[in-house]
Structure 1
């Protein structure tokens, strides 16, 4: 009996082994192994499929932003891939500015933005406010809102051919659009404006080109933009606010109610708004103020008329209008072109030197 037990054990073992071999050989061969499953799940990202992992990879690896290198979240802004929908982003309400030291700086930035003449006059060389080109305190879509710009920097700019941070971008606005002197880094004016933009972008996705950013890019018009037609559009739709001479209008207290569009107190030949396509996009989306009713063709035409008027010199002026035009001005610039027998830029007043207008 004792000699038969080992033989029985061996027999049972062989039977079990045969059953296992049979089961392995007959199971569904299409089921992947754990290693195969891991490889298969990763494969769509490599193929460029629109899977969750592929989408997240695209969100992180964004050109011109250091989001992929951050180990800590960016305060006040959602992380790449964290936003549910960029399309429905809205800046925080004015009432939500915090009642603390940071909130005080945000309010200061808003004050500078809406009344630059009063709160940053030492850096301004014309009669404009920041809010003239960025309407509704920098909140309005399609009017270069601050909330859509903040999270897109650092970014490379062809204008100065290097990567700019947001502070340098604001400095450029003072140099060109405000025809003034850039606030130095660390100056309270610059810090306050950065703080205001940062707060407006609270919750905005990082490195996302949000709808409403910048100004609309209009398709080329059916007819080439016309100075003559634009002059009529200006008379019909713009002169009431900006004056028949385009020099703006002042309120009874001497403050500027509507900004000048050309002349020594307007933006200079280096400002983005001097480009006809840029001005056309802004005008189409926002003008006449409160009733943007112009057609694309009218927007192109009146932009052509406005940007064919003399204004302060480009701060990058080399001493030669033709050389400056060739080096810095492209197809949509009227700088250096002849209009009504005059070469634009030839008689431009020096940049950043316009005298202040005496106010009552």
Structure 2
């Protein structure tokens, strides 16, 4: 019989408590490592198991004879006389390795399944490829393609980010976060607007050009609550907090509508829309605006129309009233079954 001894078992138990790892887990890993050490001896039995008493630290190697079905038909104590020294050396190695493994597992479990959550990190390192954020116990990776255009991160700066993926690696969990994901804006509004957090106000749709401009459509489940006003906040305080976190990204907040034509018209705000005709077959919304409103409806480099199309799910064609009048004045080819052009007119 070999023995770890109380002078080893006590610190093992203390470390297990501190790191959140069970003593049984550590002892199981140690037993497996000692069995491997035993098997390397030239006089070892073909089948054996190692037992460790968790109270006394006593270690025994039980050699076994097995039948054809793998059942133990005979076993005997085959603990080597020098196994105490081997056990002590192996125990230290196994304990620290297993604790490192357990810590990695605990960190992974803490973040596994948290895709879609928002986290606050401190910038640790930034270069042309990615930025590392310190989340406390783990680091998060903010790739270049997930950053806001032109945003620069100085060491020690606190930023909020959206978890897009949690990967298990040999070095622990790798958490990939984003500052450009639409979900980040949604989570920021949940933090700033109690009515959204409680479910009274819902974000029905969201489209975003990261760092430049976004549109969100909101609706209220309470007729006494104005969804746009709730999101804007007193004197615009709530929406300004979100914009400040996103480096002053412009945000258009519009009331959602179940009526597609009305929703398209609202999505093109701040432009005033005169008329919307929907073509369900092509998924196209033909929008008529005054000539003076057309640049506003389209937006700089077409951004307003692009964001409205993403928000509503409709392909949007914008024309003016003058263009519509010209189209209406084009004569239609006649055939013998149609009435003559101008029939019935004075």
Q: Which structure dedicates a bigger proportion of its chain to strand?
A: 2
Relative contact order higher in (CA < 8 Å, ≥ 6 apart): 1
User: What TM-score, normalized to structure 2?
Assistant: 0.26
Please tell me whether Structure 1 or Structure 2 has the larger radius of gyration of its CA atoms: 2
Q: Which structure dedicates a bigger proportion of its chain to helix?
A: 1
User: What TM-score, normalized to structure 1?
Assistant: 0.25
